[in-house]
Amino acid sequence: MKIAIVGATGEVGRMMLDCLQDFDIIPEEIALFASHKSAGTTLYFADRPVVVQELSEQAFDKFYDYVFFAAGGGIALAYAPLARKNSTLVIDNSSAYREDKDALLVIPQVNGDLLKNYTGIVANPNCSTIQMLLPLAVLDKAFTLRQVVVSTYQSVSGSGHTGVETLEKQRAGSKDKGIYPEIIDLNIIPHIGVFYDDGYSAEEHKMRNETRRILRNDEIAVCATTVRVPVYYGHCNSVYCQFEKKVDLALAAELLKDAEAIDFKENSYMTPLALGFSNLAHVSRLRQAVDDLSLCFWNVGHNVRIGAAANAVSILKTHLELQGD
Ligand SMILES: NC(=O)c1ccc[n+]([C@@H]2O[C@H](COP(=O)([O-])OP(=O)(O)OC[C@H]3O[C@@H](n4cnc5c(N)ncnc54)[C@H](OP(=O)(O)O)[C@@H]3O)[C@@H](O)[C@H]2O)c1
């Protein structure tokens, strides 16, 4: 198998190298691309040194089975169509193709069936949305989801490595706001992405649109408030969800306990610091909400892993498995 990673030196790209190994995907050839700034850097994959190359159109003259993009929407829009011509699957982490009907939007445990016999571009969903939809898809199957109200607590690594550097500098005393609209250190900023005329931010729109697309139900009402917090890694969601059918709390807990890619805690809870390198969506504090049609839970995930690299590699793995069927 031949794999290429565009944006290999970034938060997601570097984690992709770890996740490929976690998922036992060791290709015979791996090519790493970044901008001219990082070209020549040596990264290690499975103890082998790999020199990062500068991305160019010629990169895709060569065939790769799988090409991962983790370099932002602009690069994906410019280069993914070229990569697509000469590869089996292109998996993009940006939001560029998430609403494109010619591309797929996939969380393998939820709608991985779409990958069977598919070649083309697959968009990796938004990070907070992936960790939220893993449990919501399980509950939707049992009780039919009607409405979600979610508040997020999103770490600075969600803005890429510059987000991490911005918080590090402010922790050391800098008063420069860096990439954020306000100082993030010791603060909380309810503003991720541009604001639209309806008062919601781009990140909040993503959570609504992607939930509907992945759960294949445009009727689901989603009200998201997305918030940046001074945490380095790990996103949290406080989720309220309402269903069409009466909810059986004990059954909901059983289903979540047995579900793939979910860690369900009955008598304790997860925090970003305790996440380590988890590839799971963590669910805790499950409880009845305002009536017997509704539930609340606390949801934590490593944004660079389950929210990006682990889901992307899991798309590759599921695609491979389905072609064997
Ligand atoms: N971080 C997260 O939690 C997360 C979660 C889900 C999705 N995503 C998405 O994943 C993508 C990558 O995010 P990130 O957090 O990894 O960002 P990042 O840490 O800023 O890394 C960006 C990567 O893109 C490369 N790049 C920048 N300009 C380039 C160019 N002109 N040509 C080729 N490569 C270029 C950078 O290479 P250099 O080293 O050369 O600058 C670096 O490898 C974004 O679309 C982001 O929205 C991120």
Could you read off the pLDDT of 192-230 as tens digits, one per residue? 999 999 999 999 999 999 999 999 999 999 999 999 999
Check whether 139 has a pLDDT greater than 90: yes
Tell me the average pLDDT across 290-303: 98
| CB 123 near ligand 1, within 6 Å | no
Same domain? For 141 and 256 the reply is yes
Q: Whose CA is nearest to atom 25 of ligand 1?
A: 7
CA of 10 to the centre of ligand 1 (A): 5
Q: Whose CA is nearest to atom 43 of ligand 1?
A: 7
pLDDT at 90 over 70: yes
- Alpha-carbon distance 78 to 293, whole Å? 46
Question: Same domain, yes or no, for 169 and 298?
Answer: yes
pLDDT score at 149: 99
Are both 314 and 283 inside the same structural domain?
no
Q: From the CA of 154, how far away is ligand 1's center (Å)?
A: 17
- Shared-domain flag, residues 67 and 177: no
Q: What is the CATH number of the domain that holds 54?
A: 3.40.50.720
Ligand 1 nearest-atom number relative to CA 94: 45
Q: From the candidates 205, 235, 302, 319, give the one annotated as an active-site residue.
A: 235
Read off the pLDDT of each residue in 76-105 and give the average, rounded to a whole number.
Answer: 97
Same domain, 14 and 95: yes
What is the CA 259 to chain-centroid distance, rounded? 18
Asked if the model's pLDDT at residue 319 lies above 90, the reply is yes
Secondary structure class of 126 (helix, strand, coil): coil
Residue of the CA atom closest to atom 40 of ligand 1 = 35
Total domains in the fold of the chain: 2
Residues 163 and 274 in one domain: yes
The CATH number of residue 180's host domain is 3.30.360.10
CB 152 within 8 A of CB 234: no
Question: Do 286 and 197 reside in the same domain of the chain?
Answer: yes
Tell me, yes or no, if 223 is annotated catalytic: no
Q: How confident is the model at residue 16 (pLDDT cuts 50, 70, 90)?
A: very high
Judge whether residue 97 has pLDDT over 70.
yes
d(CA 182, CA 170): 11
What is the pTM for the complete model shown? 0.98
Which among 280, 228, 231, 288 is positioned nearest to 259, based on CA atoms? Answer: 280
Q: What is the pLDDT of residues 271-283, one digit of tens each?
A: 999 999 999 999 9
242 and 190 within one domain: yes
**33, 6 Cβ separation under 8 angstroms:** yes
Residue 325 confidence (pLDDT): 62
Ligand 1 mutation target, pool 9, 165, 203, 207, most atoms within 8 A of CB = 9
Residue 77 sits in the same domain as residue 149: no
Could you list the residue range(s) of the whole structural domain that residue 13 is in?
2-125+308-323
Q: Is the pLDDT of residue 286 over 80?
A: yes
Same domain, 150 and 284: yes
**Atom of ligand 1 minimally distant from the CA of 38:** 40
User: Percent of the chain beyond pLDDT 70?
Assistant: 99
Is 52 found in the same domain as 11?
yes
Domain check: are 150 and 283 in the same one? yes
| C-alpha–C-alpha distance, residues 114 and 110, integer Å | 10
Q: Which tens digits make up the pLDDT trace of 30-77?
A: 999 999 999 999 999 999 999 999 999 999 999 999 999 999 999 999
State yes or no: is 282 an active-site residue: no
pLDDT in tens, 158-192: 999 999 999 999 999 999 999 999 999 999 999 99
